Amino acid sequence: MKKYLLILLVAFVACHRPHYASLSTPWTPNYALDRFEGEIKNFEAQDAAKMPAPSGIVLTGSSSFKYWKTAEQDLAPLPVINRGFGGSTLSEVLHYADRAILKYQPKTVVIYCENDLFMPEPKSAEQTRDAYVALTKHIRAKLPHAQLYYVAMKPSPSRWDRREEVQRTNELIKAFVRSDKRHEYVDVWPVMLKDGRPDGRIFVKDSLHMNAEGYRRWTQVLKPILEKDTK
């Protein structure tokens, strides 16, 4: 009986072990991974003045989080630490993970990053998925019990012609997320579309970044999901 139970336990654990195997060939960055060092140092200066309490919610990733200047107020009273920076890629988020994610000992990490597909020498959908896997593997090694969320790459008017590639990447990452017990996929597409296309009313002039209404819609999606972790 004990041997049978042990077999069941091993099988259960295996079923909930993230599938870290790569889908594509390694991608070598053609840019300096420390190009946003100044922004990370600004975070460190803020921390030196007042270090956030541990067990909070870190928002990490690229400019859609960086420009969410009201995230702490919008998601209050949740203990949010917004550490989105630059026009970062997943490779850069990993590069700075120890200094901009792990140092806070968060209970929850929310990741949004869409630039890997749109660099001068972009990653493929599979390579972008692999970059996300590498980032979350690093986080899991240091914070094995953290709750992770992947926010789907959004539908933007300026990148609408690449929507099929964006959706394919989202689906690849979603499949990976499902292999990890404490990991969830957050779909923001339904609240950002109108008549099947990006709702232009929620974007600023560059047709890429969002205005206050766009972030209000993100709050509608994200806040109830994050609140359940506090219950």
Which CATH number covers residue 82?
A: 3.40.50.1110
Residue 172's closest CA among 150, 188, 156? 150
- pTM beyond 0.85: yes
> Token digits for 59?
């928002």
Q: Residue 96 belongs to what domain range? A: 56-230
- For 107-163, the pLDDT digits (tens) are 999 999 999 999 998 999 999 999 999 999 999 999 999 999 999 999 999 999 999
Which amino acid type is present at position 213? Answer: E
In the block, tokens 């009273």 appear at 77
Q: Is residue 35 part of a domain?
A: no
Name the domain count of the chain.
Answer: 1
18 assigned to some structural domain: no
Cβ burial of 48 (10 Å; 0-12, 13-18, 19+) is exposed
The residue to which tokens 């969002």 are assigned: 210
157-213 pLDDT, tens per residue?
A: 999 999 999 999 999 999 999 999 899 999 999 999 999 999 999 999 999 999 999
The partner residues of 148 in beta bridges, in order of sequence, read 109, 183
- Domain assignment present for residue 38? The answer is no
Residue (of 205, 202, 153) closest to 174 by Cα position: 153
